[in-house]
Structure 1
Amino acid sequence: MKNVNKTKAKPIDKTTLMEWYSEYLLTHGKRPESVYLFAKKHQLTESAFYDFFSGFDSLEQAYLVHFFDRSLELAAQIEHFQEMPAREKLLNLYFILFENFKLNRSLILLLLKGDLVQQHRLLRALKSRHKQFSQRLSFDNEDFFEKAPEFLKQFNGKSKEGVLWLHFVSVLEFWKKDDSLGFEKTDIYIEKTIDTGFDVVSNPIMNKVLDLGKFLWKEKFQMG
């Protein structure tokens, strides 16, 4: 995260620990060897760390939730945001969210570089928060989801929240591989898939993330 402040007089809180941890990840390219050593480096007791996080897994999950919550706060400041159609709310939120991701791309790519099991752990808390947001969306035109490929509907019991989550996962995977300037292709992907009722996600782009989508929706690994 940006603007790391390591002043010892600063009160220890969740944000401070996240700043210290992200600095360590970006500098070393890997986790600290233990919570004890990480806490000791910053002159904390190990128990002080556990006042805010149960371990490195929960700390890492907090980053994506933080970016999502902050982006939603910014989107809510847009004039008439609450009265916007659901599609426009999604577009505004995702454009802001992926702009925040761009500002912290090195950190997010480090967090997401693991295998499917590791990615599942990282996305657990975000999936729950995303579901809460999706439940508040009202789609007047039901054919919005009728256009979604059948495999999307089958994975999540045809729930609105499930289709929206799997779509979000596809955007995240696309963004990770996007090599266009300013990641403008990701913006196009967001707009095209949302504007067409996810009809575009039946193309080869979505097929590349199908295995991850299947994994995230398996019963024994279902998040939230």
Structure 2
Amino acid sequence: MATTESIKKAYVDYVLTEGEEPKSVYVFAKKNEMTEAEFYNHFGSFKALEQNIWAGIATNTLAEIKGQEVWPQYSAREKALSYFYAFFELLKQQRSFAVYSVNKQPKSITTPPVFAELRTIFENFCNEILTEGLESGELSDRKFFSKRYKDALWVQFGFVLHFWINDSSTGFEKTDEAIEKGVNVTFDLFQRSPIDNLFEYGKFLAKNGGIAEKMGFGV
């Protein structure tokens, strides 16, 4: 009896051996001694199957990092770094499949459908840690822009994924460096900066500028 895991394993073996997706579910099922019905009991298509593989890596990443005893003490920045490091550490175990899957995606400014479930899991995680960061004051709560923080992290994730695919450094140490620099720069932008102070001062002057004028300091 075919299972979700056995079907995923057989699919990965097929695409890495043949270099392409099976011609049909019938061909794939026959090769792996299962019926089409057994396949469809678990997946509606090969695209759904690949989505599930990527989503599974994301889910396993969360289970691993949230199981750490120190997790509750981490800042939002540290939690994001932990996710990135853990995800790509797990992805090493399926590098050949990841390279195949990423490289076959059409070039587009939108997220490829194969990453749809992964993105949902990733963004839910980001919303969770960003909310914590905003509530603790670690991150700056900017009108309109705060809601886009998760999008910035998704763009960063996409950059690191493609960087890792092309990384030939020993132990993928350059990817680790890209994660450290990229996530830290992104969170630096999320935190309060002199621009925020200037903006707040501008609002203050707009409300109280008349006082300065009455004292003879108008321009």
TM range, normalised to the smaller chain? 0.7 to 0.9
State the alpha-carbon separation in 2 of the partners of residues 144 and 26 from structure 1.
Answer: 46
Question: Taking every aligned residue pair, what percent have the same amino acid on both sides?
Answer: 31
Which runs of structure 2 are paired with 1:39-78 in the superposition (5 Å)?
A: 39-78=29-68
TM-score normalised according to structure 2 size: 0.75
The 3 A distance-change label for structure 1 pair 169 and 198 is farther
State the AA in 1 paired with 2:66.
A
State the alpha-carbon separation in 2 of the partners of residues 183 and 47 from structure 1.
Answer: 41
Worse-matched range after superposition: 130-139 or 15-24 = 130-139
Partner residue, 1:116:
107
Partner residue, 1:142:
139
State the alpha-carbon separation in 2 of the partners of residues 110 and 59 from structure 1.
Answer: 14
Per the TM alignment, residue 145 of structure 1 is displaced from its structure 2 partner at its CA by: 8.7
State the alpha-carbon separation in 2 of the partners of residues 62 and 17 from structure 1.
Answer: 11
State the alpha-carbon separation in 2 of the partners of residues 69 and 37 from structure 1.
Answer: 30
The 3 A distance-change label for structure 1 pair 15 and 144 is farther
Question: Is the radius of gyration larger for structure 1 or structure 2?
Answer: 2
Deviations 1:12-46 (A, max 9, x none): 22111100100111111111110011111222211
- Of 53, 75, 80, the residue aligned with 1:90 is 80
Partner residue, 1:166:
155
Per the TM alignment, residue 76 of structure 1 is displaced from its structure 2 partner at its CA by: 1.4
The secondary structure found in structure 1 opposite 2:150 is: helix
Per the TM alignment, residue 144 of structure 1 is displaced from its structure 2 partner at its CA by: 9.7
TM-score normalised according to structure 1 size: 0.73
Deviations 1:48-73 (A, max 9, x none): 11111110001011111111111111
Structure 1: gaps (5+ residues)? 1-10, 147-152, 201-224
Per the TM alignment, residue 47 of structure 1 is displaced from its structure 2 partner at its CA by: 1.5
The reply on whether 1:19 has 2:12 as its aligned counterpart is no
Partner residue, 1:178:
167
State the alpha-carbon separation in 2 of the partners of residues 144 and 13 from structure 1.
Answer: 46
How many correspondences in the alignment? 181
- Of 103, 121, 129, the residue aligned with 2:121 is 129
The 3 A distance-change label for structure 1 pair 81 and 199 is closer
Structure 2: gaps (5+ residues)? 190-219
Maintained 8 Å contact 1:68/1:97? yes
Maintained 8 Å contact 1:24/1:32? yes
Per the TM alignment, residue 190 of structure 1 is displaced from its structure 2 partner at its CA by: 0.6
Partner residue, 2:193:
none
Maintained 8 Å contact 1:13/1:52? yes
State the alpha-carbon separation in 1 of the partners of residues 181 and 142 from structure 2.
Answer: 14
Maintained 8 Å contact 2:61/2:90? yes
State the alpha-carbon separation in 2 of the partners of residues 75 and 62 from structure 1.
Answer: 20
Per the TM alignment, residue 143 of structure 1 is displaced from its structure 2 partner at its CA by: 4.6
CA-atom RMSD, angstroms?
2.4
Partner residue, 2:177:
188
Per the TM alignment, residue 119 of structure 1 is displaced from its structure 2 partner at its CA by: 6.5
The 3 A distance-change label for structure 1 pair 166 and 125 is same
Structure with more of its chain in helix, by fraction: 2
